[in-house]
Amino acid sequence: MSFVYHLLKRVSSGNCFGVFPLIFLFASLAPGGNSPFGTNFAAAEEARGADAPESGTQAAPEFQDRWFYASFGLRSDEEVEEMIQLLRDAESVGLNGMLWACGIERCGSWSDVTKERFSRIKTAADDAGVEIIPILWSVGYGTMLAKNANLVEALPIKNLQVVARNGGVEEISDSENVQIINGDFEDFRDGKFIGYGFHDKPGTISFRDTEVKHGGESSIRLENFGADKHGHGRVFQRLKVVPHRNYQIKLWYKTEGLAKRNVFRVQIYGKNGGLSSSFPAVPEDGTQDWKMTTLSFTTYEETEILFYVGIWDGTDGTLWLDDMTIEAKNMTAPVQRPGTPLVVKNAKTGEIYEQGNDFVPEVFRMRDFKNGVQKSPIRIPEGSRIEEGCALELSFYVPALTIKGQASTCMSEPELYEGFEESAAQIMALLAPKKWFLSMDEIRAANTCKACEDRNEPLGNILGECITRQYEIIQKVRPGAQVYIWSDMLDPNHNCHADYMRCRGDFSGVWDRIPKELIISCWYHKKREESMAFFSQHGFRTQAAAYYDVDTLETSREWLDVCRRTPNCTGIMYTTWRHRYELLKDFGRMLQEKR
């Protein structure tokens, strides 16, 4: 094994203070610049006159970062042993970093058993010369919500008409006319179900079924998905809705032999794209007897939504749908934080009532909201000025849920950054990493609560400030730390644009509002050329996240080619979301191949 590779192992295991000058020396000798990041270490070693690798042996490391991704290891002793073996496999093929998603941002509350398991994996990583890089602080997926669920990004319910009853309130619905037309699939004429914008290819993919149904006389049956070039088998309807209201769709489904996972979906779109979606549960064999599923969504300013349900990218199997309904679900506990005010006023006089004396908000629980639990948003205590039968208007906030119930964190609440500071200190005490990774991807809800609106800033500023503060918090506890971040919310070729999901405003320009020291980990394979070039041209170092649970390393080789052509690329990572490590050793060997 080469001298430089031994050197990198020393650096990754923490014994770095005596070798950094040598790394900078190698960098200055390598073609492509003076930075130690993204240089060709093989060329540097050759310039030093080191022994060239023998024919058929490992080439010198080409990149600083030769990582793999892991998202398990602390739930059982069996997982610990699996992780230790994985680290040994990584060492055997020259990989030197593990991006580890293990909930480390909450390590301050770990049990002694969890800490002991972490310690065993850390020791094994040190022995293997594999550096642990913690991934943390995912605003998009609800960082700090376990500590305080009220930090969730939220949407307003405005001027909800209610009446005081029995120590709480009852809704006077303004949504009686909101309905799914022919949701029971009983009205069928001229080969089509009445009321739908379409159902895919009647008589070829979609059929009326009078033998298999949940209720009534018939259901819709969807099959032969290969007859559509996209594998579609869907129904679609436009629904009129009331702005600033929360709704829940219920439907019954049955499946037989669906050949793929996650092809059955329920999706809601607004004027700017997706509002909410779900992937109802289907067993591994693709067969499910009649079962009900629900999907909740909040309208914000929409007066009309697009409702789709069915199969995307399907091949084999059958889906039946029946008895679909929609109903208002506004009777729920409000999100309670400074940026989500709760206002209760007299509907006739406009008098504003006082929280604590005249009313008390119901305690917000995320699980209750996701499960559609209905309760009075407020309780009216004895001595309140709100009399029995009084007509009221309530304005409050509810979580902005998106795909699969995903809930993002508000980036404008000061309490969030207090949590980051506490978390960073705990991570330093546990691991003291030299490299940190910000999990700031797929932020699908932002800038819709009052805390964000009151800033009156572009959405790119809000995200840029959040990332900058995260970076500064890390530097405060670990000066000189290298900080990495997912690319998509910073990339105009990906999710960095206007009207993304439940985000109000435009993320564009955020790349000019974050530290240039950040290393951008690009992961959109289709746009790899454009993305890597974009960040390089804007003065950032880059990294490639390759693999994604496919059957070959073809796409990883395509990433590697782009890495080699991108100035200041620090390396490449084996990225699996499904714990598939069959190709890990081949990936490491690929990085050792002579160019």
Give pLDDT, residue 260.
86
Express each pLDDT in 439-465 by its tens digit: 999 999 999 999 999 999 999 999 999
If one counts every other C-beta atom within 10 angstroms of the C-beta of residue 357, the result is 11
Give pLDDT, residue 60.
52
Q: Of the candidates 394, 274, 295, which has an alpha carbon nearest to the alpha carbon of residue 342?
A: 394
Q: Return the sign of the alpha-carbon dihedral for residues 517, 518, 519, 525.
A: negative
Buried b (16+ CB within 10 A) or exposed e, 376-390: bbbebeeebebeeeb
Give pLDDT, residue 2.
36
Beta strand segments in 71-111, E: 97-100
Give pLDDT, residue 53.
34
Is the Cβ–Cβ distance between 156 and 397 less than 8 Å? yes
Per DSSP, what are the bridge partners of residue 325? 250
Beta strand segments in 257-384, E: 264-270, 273-278, 288-298, 304-311, 318-328, 343-346, 360-361, 378-379
3-class secondary-structure state, position 422:
helix
How far, in Å, CA of 231 to CA of 317, rounded?
11
Express each pLDDT in 367-414 by its tens digit: 999 988 999 999 999 999 999 999 999 999 999 999 888 999 999 999
Mean pLDDT of the chain: 89
Write out the H or E segment, with its range, that includes residue 138.
none
Determine the average pLDDT of the residues in 503-515: 97
| Residue 13 C-beta-side C-alpha neighbours within 13 Å | 17
- The first and second tokens of residue 271, run together, are 């004027």
Q: Secondary structure of the chain: what % helix, strand, coil (to 5)? A: 25, 30, 45
The count of residues in the chain is 595
Q: State the DSSP string of 7-64.
A: HHHHHHTT--TTTHHHHHHHHHHSTT-S-SSS--HHHHHHHHTPPPPPTTSPPPP--S
Asked if residue 24 has pLDDT above 60, the reply is no
- The first and second tokens of residue 224, run together, are 């032969």
Express each pLDDT in 325-381 by its tens digit: 999 999 999 999 999 999 999 999 999 999 999 999 999 999 999 988 999 999 999
**329 φ, ψ to 5°?**
-135, 60
How far, in Å, CA of 253 to CA of 61, rounded?
53
More confident residue, 45 or 78: 78
Express each pLDDT in 246-292 by its tens digit: 999 999 999 999 988 889 999 999 887 788 899 999 999 999 999 99
- The first and second tokens of residue 376, run together, are 């009075």
3-class secondary-structure state, position 367:
helix
Express each pLDDT in 188-229 by its tens digit: 999 999 999 999 999 999 999 999 999 999 999 999 999 999
Is the Cβ–Cβ distance between 491 and 531 less than 8 Å? yes
How far, in Å, CA of 322 to CA of 190, rounded?
20
Is the Cβ–Cβ distance between 448 and 400 less than 8 Å? yes
Beta strand segments in 391-487, E: 391-399, 435-438, 445-446, 482-486
Residue with tokens 């949940």: 214
- The first and second tokens of residue 453, run together, are 């609106």
- The first and second tokens of residue 40, run together, are 């060709």
How far, in Å, CA of 446 to CA of 332, rounded?
21
Q: At what angle do helices 528-537 and 554-565 cross, to 10 degrees?
A: 20
Asked if residue 54 has pLDDT above 60, the reply is no
Q: What is the CA radius of gyration of the chain?
A: 27
Asked if residue 17 has pLDDT above 90, the reply is no
Q: Of the candidates 303, 302, 313, 210, which has an alpha carbon nearest to the alpha carbon of residue 259?
A: 313
